Amino acid sequence: MTDPNHDQPARRAQDTIPVGGSLRTLMAQDRMHARLVVVAGVFCILFSAIGLKLTLATIIRPMPPQQQQIAPQVPPIPKSDPKGMIAGDIALPQVHRASIIDRSGQVLAMSLPVAQVYANPQEMIDATDAAHKLKSALPTLNEEETKRRLSLNKQFVYLARDISPAQELAINNLGIPGIYFEPGERRRYPMGRVAAQILGGVDIDDHGVAGVERFFDKRLDSDRAPLRLSVDVRVQNVVHDELQSAMDTFQAIGACAIVMDVHTGEIITMVSLPDYDANDFGRASPDSRFNRAVTGMYEPGSTFKLQTVAMALQEGVAHIWDSFSSTPIKIGRFTISDMKADHFAPWLSLPEVMAYSSNPAAAHIALDAGAARQQDWLRNMGFFSRVPVELPEAGRPIIPSVHNWGVSTTMTVAFGHGVAEPPLSIVRGTAATANGGFLLRPTLVAAEASHDGTTPDAPDAAPGMPADAERLISAANSDILRKILRLDVAKGTGQKAESPGYYVGGKTGTAEKIGPHGGYLKHVNVSAFTGIFPMNAPRYAIYVMLDSPKPTAQTHGWTTAGWNAAPTASHMITRIAPMLGLFPDTQHTAAIEASLAIPMKPAVPRGYRALGPGYDPGTAHLHEHEREATGRHAHTSRGTADTAQVPARNLHARNDVDSLPAPHLRNRG
C-alpha cells in the first residue's frame, strides 16, 4: 500500500523554487521599496527645513511684513525730530500732492495717507459677525447699517472713508474675508485759521479750488518738493490777533491787514476777517472765504493822495514849495470840501496837503497835472488792472470810463473817490514811493536765493530788488515822499500810528461807503492806514483797513482812520518788528529825525515862481470848465422842447459831474 505523504517533502521543495520570472519581480519590488524610502526621507528633510524656517520666522525671530504684503499707503514709522531739522522737508512717499510751508518751514498744508474701506457682500461668511468686528476697529461705525450693507446682493459697497493707516491695519488684522482697501489721501491744514484765505482749499478729488491750492494746482501735483510761501506764520498770528482786537473794539463788519517787503515784493502776512478754519473750507460761509485784501474793492480815500503827490513831483507839475487852495470847490450843484472840523489856511504847501489831508488842495494838484497825466500815472502804477499776485481771487479795480474822465473825475480821483481798489494795490503803490521808486510784483512765494545767497537784482535797484522791478519814481523824489510820509505820522493825521524807535511813515484814509442803492452812506466809513517802517531805512510796507467801524469813547465819537486804523498799525508794528529782525533805535533819534525832516512850508528857492495865489493853472482849467458847462447849459435851455425833456442825469454826464455822488464830498485822512 502506498503512503499518501510520501511525495509531500518533494512538493514543498518545489514550491520554494521561483518559477517563470518570479525572482525578477521580487528584485523590482525591493528596488521600489528603496526608492520610496529615499523619497520619503527627502520629503522629511524638506518639511523639517520648512518647519524650522517657519519656527524661526514666526516664533524665534519673527520677520517684518514685506511692503507688498500691506497696503502701499501705510507710512513708515516717523523718525524723531525734536529740533525740527526736517520741518521744511515734508514729503511723504505715500502721497502725491506736495506740502505747503511758510518761509521758515512751518507746515501750512499737507496731504496725509488714508484709505477707503469697501466690501464684496457676496464673499461674506457672516455679515453680523463682520459688522461687529469692524465696529471694534472703527468706533464711529454704525453697526446696524454696516450689517445691512454687508447683506446686500451686491459685489461692491463702501463701508468707511478716509480712515487712518492705524485703523486700516486694525481692520486688516481682523482677517474678515471680502473686506478690501482703496488707497487715498486727505488734505489737512495743521495751523487751522492761519492764512486760510491764502491757502484756499481742495475738492474731494484733491484738486485745488481756491487760493494758492488752485493757483499752484499743477505744480503741487507734479513736484513733490514743498511749496515755500513768503508768509511768516509768527507775524501772521500777531497781525491776526491785533486786527481781531481792533475789529471787536470798533465793532467793524470786516477788516484786513497786509505786510509786504518793499524790496522783494514778498507778502509777509495777509489777514482778512472774518476768516475760517482751512480744514472746514467746504462749510465756511461766503463772507468768511471772501479775501478782502485782494477781492474786496474799496474807495482808497485819502491814501490815494500819496499817488497824487507822487505824480505831481515825478511829472514836474509841482514842487514841495508850491501852494494849493483849500477853499471848497463848487462844480455844478456839487461841492468838494474838507470836514467842518478842519480849519486850514486858504493855501497849503505840498507837505501840508498831505499832513492835513485837504481834499480841495489835492483836487487842485490833480487839475494842474491834467486828466491824461493822471490816467497814465495810475495805469503805470497798476491801478487800472488786476494786481498780479498768486491768488485766483484777485479782482479787477472799479475805475471810471476813460472816455468820460473829465474835470470832476480828475478832482475826485485825486483824493480817492470815484475809484475802488483792492488793498494790495494800495500797498504796492505805497512801497513804490519809499523803496527808491520801484514798482514791484507782489508775491506769496518766498524769494529764491541765488548762488551767492542773495536775490537777483534789478539793473539799477538796491540790493535784493527783483529783476522785474520797474522804476517809476526817481530816487530823489522817493526821498522827498519818504519825508512827507514821515511828516504825516509825526505831525499830521497819522500821529497815532507812531511806534517809538521805528520811525513810521504813512497816510491815513477815510472814505464813506456806497450804499446798496448807490450814493454814499453818511457816518459809515472804510478806514485805512498805509505806511512804511522804518522810514529811515524802509523795509516793510503795512496796510490796515477796518470796514464800517463804530465810534467809541476813546475816539470821542470819531470813526476816521486816524482814530482806529492808525493805532492798530502801531500796535502791529511794535509787536512784529522784532520778529522781522528789526529793533527800535532810540539812541540816534535826533539824527534820524533830522535826516527825515521836511518843513511844513518849504522856502521857495531863488529863481523859482511857486504855484499859489494868482498863479495856479489848475484853477484856470476849472474856471474854463465852468464857463463851458454854463454855455452848454444855456444852449440846452434854448433848445427845442424835445431837447429840454432830456433827463438831468444825462446833462450831468455830458458836463462830467455825475461822478460826484453827493452834494458835498468830504473826506478826512
Residue 229 is classified by DSSP as: B
String of DSSP letters for 471-490: E-S-HHHHHHHHHHHHHHHH
**One of 99, 111, 230, 302 is an active-site residue; which one?**
302
Query: How, if at all, do strands 267-273 and 254-261 pair?
Result: antiparallel
User: Can 285 be counted among the known catalytic residues?
Assistant: no
What's the chain's length in residues?
Answer: 669
The alpha carbon torsion through 652, 653, 658, 659 (nearest 10 deg) reads -160
Query: How, if at all, do strands 664-666 and 334-337 pair?
Result: parallel
Spatial distance between the Cα atoms of 99 and 303, rounded to a whole number of angstroms: 38
For the chain, what percentages of helix, strand and coil (3-state, to nearest 5) are there? 40, 15, 45
Spatial distance between the Cα atoms of 243 and 247, rounded to a whole number of angstroms: 6
| CA atoms in the 13 A half-sphere facing the CB of 565 | 36
Spatial distance between the Cα atoms of 194 and 158, rounded to a whole number of angstroms: 34
Q: What CA–CA distances, in Å, run from 449 to 232, 264, 290, 446, 464?
A: 17, 11, 33, 9, 10
**Contacts from 470-473 at CB under 8 Å and sequence distance 24+?**
470/438, 470/439, 471/436, 471/437, 471/438, 471/439, 472/314, 472/380, 472/381, 472/432, 472/437, 472/438, 472/439, 473/310, 473/313, 473/314, 473/432, 473/433, 473/436, 473/437
Spatial distance between the Cα atoms of 580 and 90, rounded to a whole number of angstroms: 24
Residue 470 phi, psi dihedral angles, 5° rounding: -115, 125
Supply the residues annotated as catalytic: 302
